[in-house]
Structure 1
Amino acid sequence: MAEINLFLIFLGAIGFDLLIGDPRFLIHPVQIIGFYIKKLSDYFINNFGENKKILFWGGFTVAVSTIGISLSLGKLIELSFAQSRNHFFSGLLIFFGLSSCIATRGLISSVKEIAELIEIKEINDQNKRIIEEKVQRIVSRDVRASSLEHLLRSSTESLTENSVDGIFGPLFWIFIGVIFMKFSIFLPGPLSLGFSYKAISTLDSMIGYKYDYFRYLGFFSAKIEDIFTFVPSRLVLITLPLVSSKVNQYKLIIKKSYLDGKKYVSPNAGISEAIFAYICGIKLGGKSKYKNNIIEKPIINPTGDNCNGEKIKLICQLILRLQFLWIIIFVLIFSLISSLV
């Protein structure tokens, strides 16, 4: 019975995120996770910045401890919920906790706002700085002094990549947690896996880089994120065309997206960017500045159009449609397993 209530809480949390997003009166778990990661990472960087071996194993410590604490906290709340006959308070913690793991409304609204600002015909220096600041909040690259075209591309690439990290990855692992709880309350459940994936995603976004000391400090974080995002990114690849107008080109689009996407260093980011690029008919990739380094990513869909506000709105619509499709699939799978177990 507990797992059925957990599944209903999960569905409610998805709806809450779509309608409300992250309540401002609550501390977001990512803020706590980020604070812990920064403090521990700064310690290793400031004290052992020249020692590659210590940075390497320090990064292992940062990754394992962050994920372990997140998993344990989620599991404690789940056990409280299951063993207290679905106590209201622990159920409420799970509800808000699961909602905080999903970033649909926050991601879509932030990128839409950027697109609308860029589409203003007359953009002065002050507006340009505001746009740059908003783009910088959602990307890790340096967008200072970027053209409007590059700002749009950066926003689009962030939206397409983070749709997996911030939406479909958490949805997948939370659902896996619900299924696990059907078999044993002591297995990782939706909140413990949701918190764990959020910790993994935050680790990767904060220290999972391939330059300077992050090359060693963030090695484990980047690899763990690659592993846990592998399946969700490929599920997005094979399901996104089903909610698009190009479903009749299903096999061709998937093939092109996979071939272009696997050119990326990341085994997942390129895949998620490519499927959106081919469905929306846009070109992604190219030069971007990270700190003092210029990195040129492979071009995805070379014959596609440049990014614009309309394409961003289309991507947002596709994300919402795909999320709805995934919910239907989750309900069907859960109902089937419930009838068999």
Structure 2
Amino acid sequence: MDLIFGDPRWLYHPVRLIGHLISGTERIIRNCLPANKTGERIGGGILVLVVVTVSTGVPAVILSVAYKYFWQLGLALESFWCYQILATKSLKVESDRVYIALKDKGLEAGRKAVSMIVGRDTQNLTEEGVTKAAVETVAENTSDGVIAPLFYMLIGGAVLGFTYKAINTMDSMVGYKNDKYQWFGTAAAKLDDVVNFIPARVSAVLMILAAYLTGMDGKNAACIFRRDRFNHKSPNSAQTEAVMAGALDVQLAGDAWYFGKLHKKPTIGDPVREMELLDIRRSHKLLYGTAMLGLILGIILRILVL
């Protein structure tokens, strides 16, 4: 269903509800607690507790009632929610909009398109910078948007899938090291690091295999993964970015601007060749290859467990 339908804009997505829950809860907490280091750290912890509890509890109760009184409805609803939790096609579609904008409308359109899928400042990016940002997003979200949700749904169905999406969405909304979220976002960021630790590494291994299977530079992907997988402040983000850089024979990461401030970052990969626009579409090959391998692995594990 995910590969066929993606996330059509007319269909209200449950992650938007989680986003509203995060924003509303943050607003209440900030009005109740002092705006200092201790108060914000406590508030961030309360935010995590509330959002995870609600995001897990609500679908758990709904599915429990549905399965109890009409199991076919429960199965249909859980299947639909699992489809919505995955983001394979939407990741491809959103990053492909960057490719189309750059190719057909020029740099300004490309900057605007990539600003919809990244957190960095995009107004001064070059064409190479826009392309790099899109490719990095595909690399990171192959884990966050596909393999990690699949991993948790494999264990606990849609309920645990929503738990993961709540944590990941919190990190994307408050897990910044800036003046506003330096302390408030600590709990969400740390929890996101924990829940993504295993999926990020599984994603990287699957992506290396996908590089070989899709005719890309699998050998270099494995080499750069071993060398550069920790070239990021997050213990997880560079895992798949390193594989992507190696498979494409390009250099990713490096310094970037966030909220008007330059953040110094190490590079990932070697500039065997310059990045080009088609690298966005090449990254889609790794995205889909990794997703298919993740699905096959999940089916095998379920068969073995059952």
**TM-score of the two chains, using structure 1 as the length reference:** 0.83
Contact 1:77–1:93 at 8 Å: present in 2 too? Answer: no
The reply on whether 1:148 has 2:92 as its aligned counterpart is no
In structure 1, what is the Cα distance between the partners aligned to 2:147 and 2:121? 26
Of all paired residues, the percent bearing the same amino acid is 27
In structure 2, the partner of 1:205 is 172
Which residue, 53, 72, 75 being the options, matches 2:60?
Answer: 75
User: Is the Cα contact below 8 Å between 1:78 and 1:191 reproduced in 2?
Assistant: no
Letter paired with 1:115? Y
CA distance in 2, matches of 1:308, 1:225: 32
How far did 1:44 drift?
4.1
Residue 113 of structure 1 corresponds to 97
Question: 1:309: which partner in 2?
Answer: 277
Q: Which residue does 2:69 correspond to in 1?
A: 84
User: In the alignment, which residue of structure 1 is the partner of 2:212?
Assistant: 245
Could you report, residue by residue, the CA deviation over 1:207-262 in whole angstroms, capped at 9, with x for unpaired residues? 00112131111001001100111111101122222222389986774353133121
Instruction: State which of 186, 190, 193 in structure 2 corresponds to 1:223.
Output: 190
- Is the 1:77–1:94 contact (alpha carbons within 8 Å) kept by the matching residues of 2? no
Could you tell me which of 113, 116, 119 is aligned with 1:137?
116
The equivalent of 1:288 in structure 2 is 256
The yes-or-no answer on 1:28 pairing with 2:13 is yes
**1:318 corresponds to:** 286
Assess if the C-alpha contact under 8 Å between 1:55 and 1:213 holds in 2.
no
Kindly provide the amino acid, as one letter, of the partner of residue 60 in structure 1: G
- Contact map agreement 1:209 1:215 (CA 8 A) in 2: yes
Give 1:45 deviation, angstroms: 4.4
1:163 aligned residue = 142
2: CA distance, partners of 1:282 / 1:297: 16
Return the alpha-carbon distance in structure 2 between the equivalents of residues 218 and 85 of structure 1.
41
Q: Tell me the CA shift for residue 67 of structure 1.
A: 0.9
Q: Select the residue among 146, 153, 160 that pairs with 1:193.
A: 160
Counterparts of residues 24-63 of structure 1 (less than 5 Å)? 24-45=9-30, 50-63=35-48
1:113-171, CA deviations, whole angstroms, 9 ceiling, x for partnerless residues?
Answer: 21122134x73xxxx43322221110011111322111111111111111111111101
CA RMSD across the alignment:
2.2
Equivalence for 2:302: 334
Residue 19 of structure 1 corresponds to: 4
Q: Which runs of 5+ in 1 are unaligned?
A: 1-15, 178-189
**Gaps spanning 5+ residues in structure 2: where?**
none
Aligned residues: 305
Are residue 173 (structure 1) and residue 141 (structure 2) matched? no
Relative to the length of structure 2, the TM-score reads 0.92
In the alignment, what sits opposite 1:275? Answer: 243
